[in-house]
Structure 1
Amino acid sequence: MTPYRLNRLFHPTSGRLLDVAVDHGFFGEASFIAGIEDMRSVVHTLVAAGPDAVQLTLGQARHLQSLPGKQKPALVLRTDVANVYNNPLDEVLFSHHVPHAIEEAVRLDAAAVCVNLMQLPGHPEVREANIRSILALRAEATRYGMPLMIEPLVMQDNARAGGGYMVDGDIDRIVTLVRQAVELGADLIKADPSDDLRQYARVIEVAGDVPVLVRGGGRVDDRTLLERTAAVLDAGARGIVYGRNVVQHRDPAGITAALLSMLHDGAGVDQALALVGEES
């Protein structure tokens, strides 16, 4: 894999990355659409806020890439769709990657593509489907010099978790799945935070020289979000991929500025929080 597209993702001084994920509508779960009903407006708001990248789907990438100018965020293209977030789950679960996904990413001028590696209790067929997708995408990504971001998701039992992202923060399980993603050829890792963030350096260690970006998951208050961000950056994470904590925020520009100040300027939690103020 050539590093050229990665140069469009990572900040030239800090070497870090804020990717705002707005690919939630791909997964067919009604609750995921809250706050992103009008995608054209959402993307315009994010471009004005200025994160390093925006993560979008094949059908929504045009809202970013049709905008003029060289300074807009880079595109990360989501390449796979699954039905694993509903509660109750469908009788048959699936995960499929977009046909010719890497060619589509090249045509859309993406800087990277993203694909899941899910460990869902009782459903090994989903993980198998993910691995098949990763192997197919890795071959084409190498051919076109397209960075492949693998998203290892250690998930809780759907019925117990009540649906949604169902993150299992067990550090041993996260480390194991992250290592599998590295072994499968990830150029970037998009990983869950662990329950005990003091152990997160283990994730960074097992990823080796593959940059680790930490997912945001469900909505939390601003201080919790920024404290979590500080902890994973201190552990060695190279960036963050946050979605609902930005696009569902009352002030997307403010929380983006706060996160960018931590990533690129070394701001502390209180300094960053002052840029947005705490939510009531």
Structure 2
Amino acid sequence: MHIGKAIRLERIFNRNTGRTIVIPMDHGVTVGPIDGLVNMRDAVGKVVDGGANAVIEHKGLVRCGHRAQGRDIGLIVHLSASTSLSPFPNAKTLVASVEDAVRLGADAVSIHCNLGDETEAAMLNDFGKMASDAANWGMPLLAMVYARGPKIPNEFDANVVAHCARVGTELGADVVKVPYTGDIDTFAHVCDSCCIPVVIAGGPKLDNTTDFLQMVHDSIKAGGAGLSVGRNVFQHKNPTRLVEALNMIVHEDKTVAAALTHLNG
């Protein structure tokens, strides 16, 4: 591996555990300034205080979340986007470059690809180009790969998720983000099908924090490398405390019960 890429990966992954807690904060382009992401310095500060490894932001948002004090946190610049106002919200298009991320001091870049969408070919083309650019710059690439389209009856189906993870691997990503399949055995199949770290997405906002922590715990037990979860973290009533609890599960191999005790303590 390129030494620059290795160094940058160590800024978004815990060196000792090989796992990561990533908090995406790129939702503003998709759905606007939702609760938890109005004041970006405050939002970033809360997850930094909890011990998150990295945040994901669009290029223009980096200046809004940069705190210039306190603990550091890994920065992942997101390269693709769409809005919920579009008639084709699953069609992601490039809105930034690897060079933009380099200028912003990023530790990694990320791209979103929806397999099964009518515009899949264009997204795969963008994915391939950004993987090549990232490799040339020694920049780690996190690929968010989901199955969303008219031929996809269940995007959480284990074989479908494994296909998504494999696409991310084969097209050159360094980390792939996919939905959790719902149980340890099937998600273990997803992880075993890749030679790169697999992290889970959070999906819609969950009402039950216990279920969220259990999902994270089970994904780790299956061989996952952590999580890349936004709303279930930054919209929690106490994001800092929740990230601390996630650290107990992801980096300390603590039980869900122990994490809940800390969260509610």
TM-score by length of 2: 0.90
1:39 match: 40
In the alignment, is the contact (CA less than 8 A) between 1:150 and 1:190 conserved in 2?
Answer: yes
2:204 match: 218
Distance 1:15 1:92, change over 3 A: closer
Distance 1:38 1:64, change over 3 A: closer
Which residue among 80, 104, 121 is the counterpart of 1:108?
Answer: 104
In the alignment, is the contact (CA less than 8 A) between 2:184 and 2:221 conserved in 1?
Answer: no
Bigger drift between 38-47 and 256-265 goes to 38-47
Counterpart-to-counterpart distance in 2, 1:35 and 1:91 = 26
2:14 match: 11
Counterpart-to-counterpart distance in 2, 1:92 and 1:152 = 15
In the alignment, is the contact (CA less than 8 A) between 2:55 and 2:75 conserved in 1?
Answer: yes
Bigger drift between 264-273 and 214-223 goes to 214-223
Aligned pairs (5 A) from 1:185-264? 185-208=172-195, 210-220=196-206, 221-264=208-251
Q: Does 1:153 align with 2:152?
A: no
TM-score by length of 1: 0.86
Question: What's the Cα RMSD here?
Answer: 2.4
Distance 1:234 1:112, change over 3 A: same
Residue 73 of structure 1 aligns with an amino acid whose one-letter code is I
In the alignment, is the contact (CA less than 8 A) between 2:44 and 2:65 conserved in 1?
Answer: yes
In the alignment, is the contact (CA less than 8 A) between 1:171 and 1:196 conserved in 2?
Answer: no
Residue 151 of structure 1 aligns with an amino acid whose one-letter code is M
In the alignment, is the contact (CA less than 8 A) between 1:79 and 1:113 conserved in 2?
Answer: yes
2:132 match: 139
In the alignment, is the contact (CA less than 8 A) between 1:57 and 1:78 conserved in 2?
Answer: yes
SS of residue paired to 2:263: coil
Percent of pairs identical after alignment? Answer: 27
Q: Does 1:117 align with 2:103?
A: no
Deviations 1:66-99 (A, max 9, x none): 5235x4110011110124x46xx61697421124
Deviations 1:207-232 (A, max 9, x none): 12x11111111122111011111110
- Count of residues in correspondence between the two structures: 261
Deviations 1:234-262 (A, max 9, x none): 00011111101110000101110000111
Residue 221 of structure 2 aligns with an amino acid whose one-letter code is D
Residue 36 of structure 2 aligns with an amino acid whose one-letter code is G
In the alignment, is the contact (CA less than 8 A) between 1:54 and 1:75 conserved in 2?
Answer: yes
1:50 match: 51
Displacement of 1:154: 1.8
1:97 match: 94
Deviations 1:167-199 (A, max 9, x none): 721111111121111111111111111134431
Counterpart-to-counterpart distance in 2, 1:241 and 1:152 = 12
Displacement of 1:119: 2.2
